[in-house]
Structure 1
Amino acid sequence: MEAIVRACAGGGWPARVAAVLSNRPDAAGLQFAQQHGIETGVVDHRQHPDRAAFDAALAEAIDAHAPDLVVLAGFMRILTPGFVDRYAGRLLNIHPSLLPCFPGLNTHKQALDAGVKLHGATVHFVTPELDHGPIVIQAALDVRPADTPESLAARLLECEHVIYPRAVQWFVEDRLQLQDGVVNVINPAESQLLMAISADTPAGGVKA
């Protein structure tokens, strides 16, 4: 969220961050948003009897700001199909794996356990199926022999801070074309893959 706010303010986007909402009153992002003059709000899931009631309250809070795009950033609750459908085509999420591989939790451990040599993150439009949906952009990095879930997460976070703002900027510039479940960047076309291969690997490489 902080990376998106900074990119929007510093990049001259034809947009503004209308509000930052959280289901946790103690979320650090709320203070950051307030410091940057952004409206904030809390919809505490513990104050609602079930997911449907919470999602209804969350949608009401979102709609009060009339956003063109809703961006999930560190939001760890599963949303109901009705909520997802309400914002179809304008709801983005980032997931710490190269989807469709390793949906769900503990993605870095899943990657290490599977022995993959390439891991990454994916920005995608949200659909009712968990951690699926049309892919906007991905970042990929090499998995090192000494990697742990923690070291992978730390290196990948730098990539996430690049690709998520980029995906949001493409949306607000009306450059995302979604057709038959596939997203392309238009006017002009642009790469939808960030490679972050470390130059100290035996095979060499390029760090982006």
Structure 2
Amino acid sequence: MGALRIAVFASGQGSNFQAIIDAVQNGKLDVTIELLVCDKPAAPVVERARKASVDTFLFAPKEYPSREAYEAEIIAELERRGVELIVLAGYMRIITSVLVEPFYGRMINIHPALLPAFPGVNAIQQALAYGVKLTGVTVHYVDGGMDSGPIIAQRVVEVADEDTEDSLAVRIHAAEQALLPGVIQRIAQGRVTLDGRHVRVSSS
């Protein structure tokens, strides 16, 4: 069995995408990154892909009549490349059933909070506004809801009294970059099993 073929979807800086690239190059992640999918052609993540010689599928959503239309194009590209796992890493677009259904159980997302708390956008700001003492990051399967899919792994980040959104974001992003490649590796090793809402991760 060859290395797991993955595609990464991202919209912005691409720090989690870079963490995946680094883990592959350091021999800690047994996957091949077949494609970066990005809805913002000028985003910094695109340059990261170019430097790592990762192919890109870039699109402008406004040029399509619907989300379903561009997702159909994306699926064709993923299937052509034999992609086995989609990793959403800072992809800021709502995903429809066109993409979710054929890839259910094969699409994961990383979210900057301890789900089910603070789903959706501005999760770090939500946590600070609520006054929680602990927040963190979650890797979960995508089920079509708003950050509602089965949870694979989480990592806790403490919130300090003096934290600002920026200072907390630094630690949240560090936790994301530490957690995500390891989860992908466990999936690549066949150690992650999805059973309804429950995800089991075996130790070997």
TM-score, structure 2 length as denominator? 0.87
Q: Which moved more, 1:91-100 or 1:3-12?
A: 3-12
CA distance in 1, matches of 2:203, 2:162: 42
Q: Which moved more, 1:157-166 or 1:37-46?
A: 37-46
Between the two proteins, what is the percent identity of the paired residues?
A: 35
RMSD of the TM alignment (CA)?
A: 1.3
Matched positions, count = 188
CA distance in 2, matches of 1:108, 1:75: 16
For residue 114 of structure 1, report the CA deviation from its aligned partner.
1.4
Per-residue Cα deviation, 1:150-184 (whole angstroms, up to 9, x for no partner) = 11111111000011111111111111011231112
Find the counterpart in structure 2 of residue 24 from structure 1.
40
Helix, strand or coil for the counterpart of 1:33? helix
CA distance in 1, matches of 2:105, 2:53: 28
Find the counterpart in structure 2 of residue 42 from structure 1.
58
Find the counterpart in structure 2 of residue 109 from structure 1.
125
**Dislocated runs of 4+, deviation >6 Å:** none
Helix, strand or coil for the counterpart of 1:20? strand
Matched-pair contact (CA < 8 Å) for 1:21–1:30:
no
Aligned: 1:179 with 2:178: no
Per-residue Cα deviation, 1:15-65 (whole angstroms, up to 9, x for no partner) = 211111211111222221222222222122121011111221222222221
Helix, strand or coil for the counterpart of 1:11? coil
Distance 1:60 1:152, change over 3 A: same
Q: Which amino acid aligns with 2:129?
A: D
Gaps of at least 5 residues in structure 2 are 1-16
Gaps of at least 5 residues in structure 1 are 189-208
In our comparison, the structure showing a higher alpha carbon Rg is: 1
Q: Which moved more, 1:115-124 or 1:53-62?
A: 53-62
Q: Which amino acid aligns with 1:8?
A: V
Find the counterpart in structure 2 of residue 33 from structure 1.
49
Aligned: 1:71 with 2:111: no
Aligned: 1:161 with 2:166: no
TM-score, structure 1 length as denominator? 0.86
